[in-house]
Chain A
Amino acid sequence: MQIAQHETNGVTVLAISGRIDATVAEMFKQNLLDAIGDRPVRLLLDFGQVDFISSIGLRVLVVAAKRLAAVRGKLLFCCVEGPVREVFELAGFTSVAALFPSREAALASTA
């Protein structure tokens, strides 16, 4: 798993690639928590290059969402497609998270 971080229009964008499973869960969590810090940040996770996400990976997303709620930040997802989308839907994640088809659509929603 690799993560590229940059800022666009006041939104912290994390472009993730590879597999998010138990072997990288701790690193993934630390990256997300570092990106959030203690500011009311708007965090956009770009899943366009993610091949697989395990249950542990989803739990890390819950931890990040709770942390963002505590600092009054916002969590958005974009480009969640294919098998990863199916896991999101089956897990019910699509009902509780803000998913956008593209990075542009996600950024536009924060404007």
Chain B
Amino acid sequence: MAHIIATLVVGLGLFFFGLHMVGSNLKHASGRQFRALIGRFTSSIWRGSYLGVLAGATMQSPSAVTVILASMSASGLLTVEQALPIVAWSNVGSTMLVFVTLLDLRLMVVYLVGVSAAAFTFAHETRWRPILGVLLGIGLLFYGIDAMRSSAAGLPEFSWFPEVMAQARSSYLWALLIGILLSFLSQSTTAVAMLTVTLANAGVLGANEAMMVIYGGNVGSTFAHMILAGGLKGSSRQIGHFQDLFKITGSALFVGLFYLEIYGHVPLVKALTAALTDRLESQVALVNLFCNLTMAVVLSAFLGPVHQLLDRFWPATKAEDFAKLKYLHTRALADPDTAIDLVEKEQTRLVEHLPNYINALRPVPSGGRRADVRVMHQAFESLYQEVQSYLTRLIHLHLSPTTSERLTSVHTRHQIIGNLEDSLFELVSAVDQKPPPPQLAALVQNLTEALDFLLMSAAAAVTGQDSEDVDLLAGLCADRGELLGKIRSLYLSSEHSLAAADKSLLLSLTTLFDRIVWTVRRLAVLLQQNRQFRA
């Protein structure tokens, strides 16, 4: 018993660690070419469906496919709409293996972990490290699933197991519950289907009970998936709940049909499978296929309304909404001046986002939660890189001299906005990591209010492009070197008796504040120069 629990704990640990590696390395691997590749494979429902069948058939776990896709969605690599057909059809793909044989991926997974771990450790070419990290993550993830499966494989050795299975013969509901339990423990509907076939052949289960174990198996993996995907946030939860909807609705529908067939004497699934084959194991495999195929077809036909429903119950977070392009689209590249107008609108969104960082510097109101600056930073980075990619595409177009000059200016503005966010994120993170001592509290409060005011003024100047706001912004950004020098001297004097770490914080804050003012001044000067394009 202790060995089974230990194996289960190891499996869970490796699963979570592998998942973390996949997610974190995907963020680094999210170059334009990689995104384009993902986009090409998921450009239509049918391409997504093929990919889903392939992923389900090779991975043998729609839950793992779901969690990986949710992680990719959270990293901005694909949208929920792109992921849903893959999830739906991965369930169908996973049923295929029962027809052939349960592929033993263990050896392959061991080689994958070993080779990718060695390559990841020794790869000096940073370009390949994220890809190797993803492979290592996938390897560890499957190693974890395999460990959980082997812990479940030990179940028949327990004296109570045959008794529990005998209960299944006494009630269809018991058979359903046993299917749920086995699937929950094994993380694999396929494994439950194979076990059911074995038990049916051995006479432990009859055909009817075997069908109910299969339906229970479909729901059980969902419970396991709910636990494993519990940490997901925002729209990536929609992918997980789509899988839950798929399995629960499918099982509920087929359990209903089962009772109608048994007690209503209406020939349905059982009759159909019996008509197709005499072999019990093939009938069980067909029941599994029909259950998943029906739901894949139905949900694929209503993907739009289903996505709207998911979006209503599990909406995207504010950060996710912000990270999405609002104005830019590929068609606008046909008219570069319009495209530049749209880039400016996205840049305005980026600048307007910056004052939100300041909330992380303010005291947390009672009962409230501190704003998570890392989430804001991640959302900013995502949108910033999207706009950067668009600018790069614009640069490669044939442009008139005036448009070219305007594009150069917008490109420079983009770099300034990026520098501004870098410094702001660094400053807020410094306070987040090392809360200021009471001696510095008043100074930090004053810096916070001044910074917020400057960022709001910068947002107003960029948004309205009003000459008065732009000139005011330029005036507000006079050199602060002397002032900040005085502040440093005052607080570093013995009178404030600051600890070494607090002195370091003081120097960081004042230096970063100075850098932010200097960067805002560059933005103001650029906006003043841009008046020629608006004249």
Contact A95 B442 (CB under 8 A): no
Complex Cα spacing A58 to B468, Å: 16
Across-interface contacts of A89 in B (CB, < 8 A): 483
A27, CB-defined interface residue at 8 Å: no
Q: Which of A13-62 contact B (CB under 8 A)?
A: 53-55, 58-59, 62
Across-interface contacts of A98 in B (CB, < 8 A): none
Given A90-B447, A92-B475, A93-B476, CB of A59 within 8 Å of CB of B468: no
A71, CB-defined interface residue at 8 Å: no
The chain A residue sitting closest to B476, CB to CB, is: A92
The chain B residue sitting closest to A55, CB to CB, is: B452
Q: Which of A51-101 contact B (CB under 8 A)?
A: 53-55, 58-59, 62, 66, 69, 83, 86-87, 89-93, 95-96
Contact B477 A90 (CB under 8 A): no
Q: How far is the CB of B458 from chain A (nearest CB, A)?
A: 12
Complex Cα spacing A86 to B480, Å: 12
Across-interface contacts of A83 in B (CB, < 8 A): 442, 445-446
Contact B480 A90 (CB under 8 A): yes
Give the number of chain A interface residues (Cβ < 8 Å).
Answer: 18
Contact with A along B428-458 (1 / 0, CB 8 A): 0000000000000011011111111110110
> How many residue-residue contacts, CB under 8 A, span A and B?
57
The chain B residue sitting closest to A86, CB to CB, is: B446
Contact with A along B254-293 (1 / 0, CB 8 A): 0000000000000000000000000000000000000000
Complex Cα spacing A92 to B480, Å: 8
Contact B472 A62 (CB under 8 A): yes
Contact residue among B443, B448, B449, B478 (Cβ-Cβ distance under 8 Å from A58): B449
Complex Cα spacing A53 to B451, Å: 13
Complex Cα spacing A96 to B450, Å: 14
Contact A58 B472 (CB under 8 A): no
Complex Cα spacing A95 to B448, Å: 19
B15, CB-defined interface residue at 8 Å: no
Complex Cα spacing A96 to B453, Å: 14
Contact A91 B476 (CB under 8 A): yes
Main secondary structure of the interface of A (DSSP, over half): helix
Given A55-B456, A62-B457, A83-B442, CB of A91 within 8 Å of CB of B450: yes
The chain B residue sitting closest to A57, CB to CB, is: B449
B517, CB-defined interface residue at 8 Å: yes
Contact B449 A87 (CB under 8 A): yes
Across-interface contacts of B447 in A (CB, < 8 A): 90
B513, CB-defined interface residue at 8 Å: yes
Across-interface contacts of B448 in A (CB, < 8 A): 55
Contact B442 A91 (CB under 8 A): no
Contact B475 A96 (CB under 8 A): yes
Complex Cα spacing A91 to B446, Å: 9
Contact residue among A55, A62, A95 (Cβ-Cβ distance under 8 Å from B450): A55
Complex Cα spacing A45 to B501, Å: 40
Contact B476 A95 (CB under 8 A): yes
Complex Cα spacing A85 to B101, Å: 78
Q: How far is the CB of B356 from chain A (nearest CB, A)?
A: 13
Complex Cα spacing A64 to B449, Å: 19
Across-interface contacts of A62 in B (CB, < 8 A): 457, 472
Across-interface contacts of A69 in B (CB, < 8 A): 468
Across-interface contacts of B476 in A (CB, < 8 A): 91-93, 95-96
Contact with A along B495-534 (1 / 0, CB 8 A): 0000000000000000001000100000000000000000
Across-interface contacts of A66 in B (CB, < 8 A): 468
Given pairs A55-B456, A62-B472, A91-B453, 17 additional interface contacts (CB within 8 A): A54-B449, A54-B452, A55-B358, A55-B449, A55-B450, A55-B452, A59-B457, A69-B468, A87-B450, A89-B483, A90-B447, A90-B449, A91-B449, A92-B477, A92-B480, A92-B517, A95-B478
> Which residues of A line the B interface, CB within 8 A?
53-55, 58-59, 62, 66, 69, 83, 86-87, 89-93, 95-96
3 smallest A-B Cβ distances: which pairs?
A: A55-B452, A90-B450, A92-B476
14 contacts between A and B (CB under 8 A): A53-B449, A54-B449, A55-B448, A55-B453, A83-B442, A83-B445, A90-B446, A90-B447, A90-B451, A90-B483, A90-B513, A91-B449, A92-B480, A95-B476
